[in-house]
Chain A
Amino acid sequence: DAGVIQSPRHEVTEMGQEVTLRCKPISGHNSLFWYRQTMMRGLELLIYFNNNVPIDDSGMPEDRFSAKMPNASFSTLKIQPSEPRDSAVYFCASSASFFGQGTRLTVV
């Protein structure tokens, strides 16, 4: 298995633009997690899905953030409009224990 696959690995965008991060979890895993990592706040859970259903989105910082999981093999995290303070590394994890390589987002 290739593990959790995230794309893109790096994203640089201008403030106000829409950003979409993508994740392909490990096949057969029922849970999917989106985390954000910054130097200031460490690792923060944004949202997690169980069997494609959002269970807890209390970590989503604002309405500008949204996440979907249309099927068991794909999830997206969207930020619209993006702001410089959204700059961070965003991780997707499969079943809480298997993390992807992350997407480094820079909003200028």
Chain B
Amino acid sequence: GENVEQHPSTLSVQEGDSAVIKCTYSDSASNYFPWYKQELGKGPQLIIDIRSNVGEKKDQRIAVTLNKTAKHFSLHITETQPEDSAVYFCAASLTGNQFYFGTGTSLTVIP
């Protein structure tokens, strides 16, 4: 089955700096890659996603890039703010039903 690895497990950045979280996947057939933000005591919230026919997608301060050849995808957050502090999860899916999640990155934005 699919195996998703996520790095780093923890990340601290100064407010205003950029944060980058990287994930790799093993199954080249996977074609949908969502990213989730999970705040303390809450469920994961979908923040951005990308499909395998697209190399990059942007939504305000958040962007995701996908390299199908290398089987890795990344989340980029620019101009970080304290409210960006949370745990971020990447996931990979082939069917849109079975999702394989990374182990999460705890992001801390230092004011």
Q: Which residues of A contact B (CB under 8 A)?
A: 4, 31, 33, 42-43, 45, 48, 50, 55-56, 91, 93, 96-102
Contacts and interface: CB of A to CB of B under 8 A. Distances in A.
Interface stretch (B10-18, B38-46, B69-77): B38-46
A43 B101 contact: yes
B104 A97 contact: no
A41 to B, nearest CB: 9
Interface stretch (B21-29, B54-62, B92-100): B92-100
Interface residues of B, number: 18
Given A55-B97, A56-B97, A99 B43 contact: yes
B103 A97 contact: no
A100 B41 CA distance: 11
A31 B45 CA distance: 17
A96 B97 contact: yes
Contacts of A96: 93, 96-97, 99
Given A42-B104, A43-B89, A97-B34, A91 B43 contact: yes
